[in-house]
Every structure is written in structure tokens, then in C-alpha cells.
Amino acid sequence: MDLGIKGKWALVCAASKGLGRGCAEALADEGVNLVITARGAEALEATAAALRARPGAGEVRTVAGDITTPEGRAAALAACPQVDILINNAGGPPAGDFREWTRETWIAALDANMLTPIELIKATVDAMAVRGFGRIVNITSAAVKAPYESLGLSNGARTGLTGFVAGLARQSKLASRNVTINNLLPGPFDTERLRSNTAAVAQRSGESFDALWDGRRMSNPTRRFGDPAEFGAMCAFLCSVHTGYVTGQNVLMDGGAYPGTF
């Protein structure tokens, strides 16, 4: 299937590794020109080189910086001639006990996982509507459907974003102009973050990393973790010309782990 987005420009945030990189790879394969961001310049440049080497890839630009800061967002936006496709992503907040979180802890989580995507949507969405094409995908979490007990900061911030997006996506001045906003909800995907989270749990509990990793893998109906390439493929489809009638949706990719009928 031709996704029909060759030559468009995409800003893919937090894309040197993991799910963001998976999205950047899938968009590169469609001939989409990319601006990718991450804080660490070395990994970012290595990812950019790998993206440029993919068959059919367009232009790939890099912006090293923290996307959760106004300066980081301004630099990312300035590097993109026009944002036709916006993939919102950033690191997730830490796990912990809400009794220990201060106002500052909450503001940091809200800044990263709710207000940063909202700011980037605000900066790009009206121009998308004028041009008659726009695709926004927010990488959130399966925690929006079923909260993780220890990830209260993530549960709260991402659900706040989801509620906001549910209203915005349905504004006819966007939807009628072929601008869609959807959320992609990852369950467990094999990324550096999942491995480092598992290593932290192993250290706290005294269990071995391998036992925890295999236990988690076997608890999924698919008996495996998701592959960031699968995540990227779904993201690219949501960014395609074929999905103008899909907006305000929460697309769960968790191997069937969520036990609900709907």
C-alpha cells in the first residue's frame, strides 16, 4: 500500500532510540523528510545516519535538545520547513510512591508528557489546517487504558493529554481540513527504557533481570514483547493519506494484554 506521504515533512520527537526511532524509520521508508530530536547528540547522529541509508529515505535533519523545554521545542520547529506530520514523544516519568512526590515532581511530569505535546500541537495545527493536511500522533501508554500502580505520574499526565486531545481532535475546523490527532498506546515494547525499568525492579526486589524479563514476556498473550518496527508501521499508517476519517482515537498496541472486550 502506498501511504501517499512521500515528500511531506515530519517532526519526530525523542527519536534516537526506541519507539520514536521506530516511527522515524517507518516514515523514512515512505520517503517522508524528517527532523528528529533527542538530548544526546551522539546517538541522534548515529540514528540519522542509519535513517539516511534506508532505501527511499528523504532528507533527515537532527536537533539535539530537550523537547520538554521551550528552547528545545523552538529549535526543533525551526529546523522543519513545515510540519505536515508531528510525532509527539519524550521520556516517561519515573516510577514511585505518590506520597513522596512534590509539586515540582508533578510539574516535571506534566511538562514532559502533557504540556510539551500540547505546545507542539498549538505551534503546528493551524498551519496544517490551512494546507489541508496534517497528521499528529502522540505516543502515550497502555497506562491510559489500565493504569500501572507505580507509574502514577505517567497515568496522570498521559490521561490529561488524552482528555485534551479527545476534545481538540473533534473540532471541525481541524477534522474538516484533513487534520487528524490520534494517540498510540504502547504496551511492553523491547526498548532501552523497558530494559532499564526491568533492571531497576530487579535491583530493588533482588530477583534476577532474566527471571523478571521472561516472566513479563510470558505474561503477554503473544509471549513476546512488541518490536519498535511494528509500532512504527502503525504510526506511519496513522500518518498516511488513508486515515483522514480516523481522529481522536486511542490505538492500543499491547499484544492483547488489556483484558477488556472493547
Question: Which residues bind to ligand NAP, rule: CB under 6 A?
Answer: 14-20, 37-40, 43, 66-68, 89-92, 139, 141-142, 186, 188-189, 191-194
Q: Give the Cα separation of 198 and 209 in Å (integer).
A: 7
- Residue 89 or 180: the one with the smaller Cβ distance to ligand NAP is 89
What whole-number distance in Å separates Cα of residue 59 and Cα of residue 135? 19
Min CB(193)–ligand NAP separation in Å:
3
Tell me how far, at minimum, the Cβ of 238 lies from ligand NAP, in Å. 16
* Sign of the four-CA dihedral 143, 148, 149, 151: negative
Q: Rg (Cα) of the chain, in Å, rounded?
A: 18
In the complex, the smallest distance separating the C-beta of residue 260 from ligand NAP, rounded to whole angstroms, is 17
Pick 138 or 240: Cβ nearer ligand NAP: 138
Instruction: Give the residue with the Cβ less far from ligand NAP, 43 or 77.
Output: 43
Give me 16's grid cell. 534516537
How does strand 179-186 pair with strand 250-253? Answer: parallel
From residue 249, give the alpha-carbon distance in Å to each of 50, 138, 166: 31, 10, 8
Please say which residue, 39 or 242, places its beta carbon nearer to ligand NAP: 39
Considering beta carbons, is residue 156 or 188 the nearer one to ligand NAP?
188
CA distance 153 to 14: 19
What are 60's strand-pairing partners? 34
State the DSSP string of 72-110: HHHHHHHT-S--SEEEE--PPPPP--GGG--HHHHHHHH
Output the smallest distance, CB 23 to ligand NAP, in A.
9
Number of H helices, E strands in the chain: 10, 7
Nearer to ligand NAP, 50 or 194 (CB): 194
* Least distance to ligand NAP, CB of residue 186, Å: 4
Least Å from the CB of residue 58 to ligand NAP: 20
